[in-house]
């Protein structure tokens, strides 16, 4: 068995420098601009003066400087007390400048010269250091390379872009660069500023979840911050808030700091959207509904997402009106005479169109107290209207209010407060009806029924009209609990293949029916009651469904036919 030996762990410094020179460490030769500005930032400089002439760039700051050249020339060492992240490698990004010949550094009482070709030819990293008799404040870095001359425009543009974001004064060839707030380009429909122990930020709402804020550190771009949802903007992290991956510091290390940082950003994002929904318009809430749903609970937005028109709505969704005024042509041949024994017990109630809902901003209201009043209300989502139009018509026919949930937030509010969905109509509606006293009780009733005989002759059907008393109630239930019971006014009903007209609704006492043909008084009685007769005939003869285009058109065509018949009889 061999004895253990000790093997020293060394760092291949020249190998690391070659990687920088070859462009495999930093993503662009221009990264040296950002690194020099960052060094001045950490040195707490108040001014930076840059000169670019021919193939030489000189970068001078008035920061704290360095007393010992080793602190600058040692790879992976950071002189600055403001950070412990080993950013010393950033200075060596100058080696990524293609064809760089020389680098000179001056600070306090020393100057150092690095001959780049010799450094790589000998494989021995070294610099010539000379002590100076005069004290030089801050740092002066002089770089020489043909690249600086050949790519001067790109270098000037990068200096202007990065320099404008610095908190100190920057001049280029004697001309000051106008300072720019790092947050100035953050715009949107709603923005909010944040300041925490980990970062300062300006965030804007984003209606698509794949937007990401840009993360900055010490006034330089780090990366797109992807650990959040539904926002864009600028986040400027504070020292030690995150661990950035060496050497280019363009990625965030996955550690406990990252989780803490993400939690803080998430809290600010929720605060942003809580403030947004309090002042958003109806249109904005609809467009941002998906993101709001992902970020906030129902209790955080419920007071702001139901618009005034929805609360004022009575009678639900307006029935569609067909574009063609006469899309159907009827004849007696289209009547199903074998269906006179059907038991249709539909109720009739007037349809009240919904008010126009163009509210600019929903006003805050107590949803809990408001929705308690919605005992006879069901809801339907906007994207399913075409599929449930018959149910909508049925609900309106029963006198229910149908409200349209235009986005997922409104749907969530309705679900929270157990407002029934329209699909629950069959389970939530119980009709109680009593039909009694069917028969002729007065001469006027006999004369009126005689007036309806031409209708049966026209459609070639048996006598289908009766007069009686119709009493109906509608019970609305949520689950096993009845929340409302209402007496319904009924003008007529199709029952067991006949049409029963409600005696009270006809109110025949108001007409002087003599039974002597079609006179003035008979026409008045017919005109007053014919809408109900046509309504029930549409059900009986053509099996139409209430509050549908087919039903309205059928009812109107029947009315026109019957008016023509009676006018010819005079």
Kindly list the distances between the CA atom of residue 468 and the CA atoms of 49, 101, 294, 490, 533, in Å, as whole numbers in the listed order: 101, 110, 57, 11, 14
181 versus 125: which is more confidently predicted? 181
**Quick one: pLDDT at residue 59?**
96
Question: With 80 as the cut, is the pLDDT of residue 95 above it?
Answer: yes
**Quick one: pLDDT at residue 8?**
54
pLDDT tens digits, one per residue of 276-291: 999 999 899 999 999 9
Question: With 70 as the cut, is the pLDDT of residue 51 above it?
Answer: yes
Q: Which of 91-100, 318-327, 508-517 has the lowest mean pLDDT?
A: 318-327
95 versus 298: which is more confidently predicted? 298
Residue 37, classified by CB atoms within 10 Å of its CB into exposed (0-12), middle (13-18) or buried (19+), is buried
**Quick one: pLDDT at residue 480?**
61
Question: With 70 as the cut, is the pLDDT of residue 345 above it?
Answer: no
Read off the pLDDT band of 76 (50, 70, 90). Answer: low
Span 538-559, average pLDDT: 89
Q: Which tokens belong to 103?
A: 């680098």
**Quick one: pLDDT at residue 434?**
83
Provide the 10 A C-beta neighbour count for residue 183.
17
- Give the SS3 label for residue 92: helix
**Quick one: pLDDT at residue 234?**
96
Span 175-194, average pLDDT: 93
Q: Which of 9-13, 231-235, 408-412 has the lowest mean pLDDT?
A: 9-13
The owner of tokens 């209300």 is 377
Give the C-alpha separation, 365 to 328, whole Å: 47
Answer yes or no: same fold for 13-176 and 191-279.
Answer: no
**Quick one: pLDDT at residue 16?**
80
Question: With 70 as the cut, is the pLDDT of residue 80 above it?
Answer: no
Q: Which tokens belong to 477?
A: 């239930």
547 versus 514: which is more confidently predicted? 514
Span 72-83, average pLDDT: 54
Residue 30, classified by CB atoms within 10 Å of its CB into exposed (0-12), middle (13-18) or buried (19+), is buried
**Average pLDDT of the residues of the chain:** 82
Q: Where are the domains of the chain?
A: 13-176, 191-279, 332-569
Give the C-alpha separation, 80 to 61, whole Å: 15
**Quick one: pLDDT at residue 209?**
59
Span 352-360, average pLDDT: 43
Q: What is the CATH number of domain 13-176?
A: 3.30.565.10
Are the C-beta atoms of residues 168 and 64 closer than 8 Å to each other?
A: no
Strand ranges inside 82-197, DSSP E: 102-115, 128-144, 169-172, 175-176, 191-195
**Quick one: pLDDT at residue 569?**
79
Question: With 60 as the cut, is the pLDDT of residue 7 above it?
Answer: no
Span 58-81, average pLDDT: 74
**Quick one: pLDDT at residue 374?**
77
The DSSP call for residue 230 is: S
**Quick one: pLDDT at residue 241?**
95
Give the C-alpha separation, 487 to 521, whole Å: 32
Span 386-396, average pLDDT: 81
pLDDT tens digits, one per residue of 130-159: 888 877 788 999 999 999 999 999 999 999
Question: With 80 as the cut, is the pLDDT of residue 248 above it?
Answer: no
Backbone angles phi, psi at 171, to 5 degrees: -120, 145
Give the C-alpha separation, 241 to 31, whole Å: 23
Which segment, 77-91, 95-109, 318-332, 419-433, is predicted with the most confidence on average? 95-109
Read off the pLDDT band of 88 (50, 70, 90). Answer: low
Give the C-alpha separation, 195 to 208, whole Å: 25
**Quick one: pLDDT at residue 141?**
94
Query: Percentage of the chain with pLDDT > 90?
Result: 45
Question: With 70 as the cut, is the pLDDT of residue 355 above it?
Answer: no
DSSP strand pairing (481-488 vs 492-495): unpaired
Read off the pLDDT band of 390 (50, 70, 90). Answer: confident
Give the C-alpha separation, 261 to 241, whole Å: 7
pLDDT tens digits, one per residue of 461-488: 999 999 999 988 877 665 566 656 677 7
User: Is this prediction's pTM over 0.75?
Assistant: no
Question: With 50 as the cut, is the pLDDT of residue 330 above it?
Answer: no
**Quick one: pLDDT at residue 498?**
93
Give the C-alpha separation, 244 to 218, whole Å: 12
Provide the 10 A C-beta neighbour count for residue 281.
14
CB-based contacts of 97, cutoff 8 Å, min separation 6? 29, 32, 143, 145, 147, 148
Query: Percentage of the chain with pLDDT > 70?
Result: 83
Residues, the chain:
570
Q: Which tokens belong to 308?
A: 């005034």
- Give the SS3 label for residue 296: coil
Read off the pLDDT band of 392 (50, 70, 90). Answer: confident
Are the C-beta atoms of residues 482 and 432 closer than 8 Å to each other?
A: no
Are the C-beta atoms of residues 437 and 469 closer than 8 Å to each other?
A: yes
Question: With 70 as the cut, is the pLDDT of residue 336 above it?
Answer: no
Class of domain 191-279: alpha beta
């Amino acid at each position: 068995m061999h004895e253990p030996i000790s093997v020293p762990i060394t760092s291949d410094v020249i190998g690391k420098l070659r990687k920088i020179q070859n462009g495999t460490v930093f993503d662009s030769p221009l990264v040296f601009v950002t690194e020099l500005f960052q060094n001045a930032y950490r040195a707490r400089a108040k001014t930076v003066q840059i000169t670019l002439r021919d193939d030489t760039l000189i970068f001078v700051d008035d920061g704290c400087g360095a007393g010992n050249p080793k602190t600058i020339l040692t790879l992976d060492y950071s002189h600055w007390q403001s950070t412990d992240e080993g950013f010393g490698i950033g200075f060596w990004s100058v080696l990524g400048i293609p064809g760089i010949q020389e680098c000179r550094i001056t600070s306090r009482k020393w100057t150092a010269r690095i001959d780049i070709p010799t450094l790589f030819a000998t494989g021995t990293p070294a610099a010539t250091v000379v002590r100076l008799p005069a004290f030089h404040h801050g740092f002066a870095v002089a770089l020489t390379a043909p690249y600086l001359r050949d790519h001067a425009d790109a270098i000037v543009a990068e200096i202007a872009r990065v320099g404008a974001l610095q908190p100190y004064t920057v001049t280029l060839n004697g001309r000051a660069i106008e300072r720019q707030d790092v947050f100035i380009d953050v715009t949107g429909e709603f923005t909010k500023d944040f300041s925490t122990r980990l970062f300062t930020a300006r965030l804007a709402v984003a209606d698509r979840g794949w937007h990401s804020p840009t993360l900055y550190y010490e006034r330089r771009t780090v990366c797109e911050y992807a650990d959040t949802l539904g926002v864009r903007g600028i986040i400027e992290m504070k020292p030690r808030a995150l661990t950035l991956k060496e050497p280019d510091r363009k990625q965030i290390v996955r550690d406990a700091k990252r989780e803490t940082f993400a939690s803080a950003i998430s809290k600010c994002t929720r605060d942003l959207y809580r403030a947004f929904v309090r002042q958003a318009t109806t249109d904005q809430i609809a467009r941002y509904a998906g993101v709001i749903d992902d970020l906030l609970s129902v209790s955080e937005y419920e007071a702001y997402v139901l618009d005034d028109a929805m609360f004022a709505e009575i009678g639900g969704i307006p029935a569609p009106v067909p574009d063609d005024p006469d899309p159907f042509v009827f004849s007696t041949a289209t009547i199903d005479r074998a269906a006179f024994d059907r038991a249709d017990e539909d109720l009739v109630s007037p349809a009240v169109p919904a008010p126009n809902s163009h509210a600019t901003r929903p006003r805050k209201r107590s949803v809990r107290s408001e929705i308690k009043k919605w005992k006879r209300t069901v809801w339907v989502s906007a994207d399913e209207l075409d599929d449930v139009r018959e149910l909508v018509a049925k609900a309106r026919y029963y006198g229910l209010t149908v409200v349209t949930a235009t986005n997922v937030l409104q749907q969530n509010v309705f679900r929270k407060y157990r407002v029934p969905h329209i699909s629950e109509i069959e389970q939530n509606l119980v009709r109680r009806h009593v039909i009694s006293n069917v028969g002729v009780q007065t001469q006027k009733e006999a004369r009126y029924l005689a007036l309806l005989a031409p209708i049966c002759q026209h459609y070639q059907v048996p006598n289908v009209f009766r007069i009686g008393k119709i009493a109906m109630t509608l019970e609305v239930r949520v689950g096993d609990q009845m929340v409302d019971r209402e007496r319904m006014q009924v003008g007529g009903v199709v029952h067991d293949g006949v049409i029963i007209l409600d005696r009270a609704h006809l109110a025949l006492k108001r007409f002087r029916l003599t039974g002597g043909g079609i006179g003035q008084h008979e026409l008045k009685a017919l005109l007053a009651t014919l809408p109900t007769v046509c309504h029930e005939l549409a059900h009986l003869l053509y099996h139409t469904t209430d509050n549908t285009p087919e039903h309205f058109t059928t009812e109107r065509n029947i009315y026109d036919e019957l008016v023509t018949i009676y006018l010819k009889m005079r």
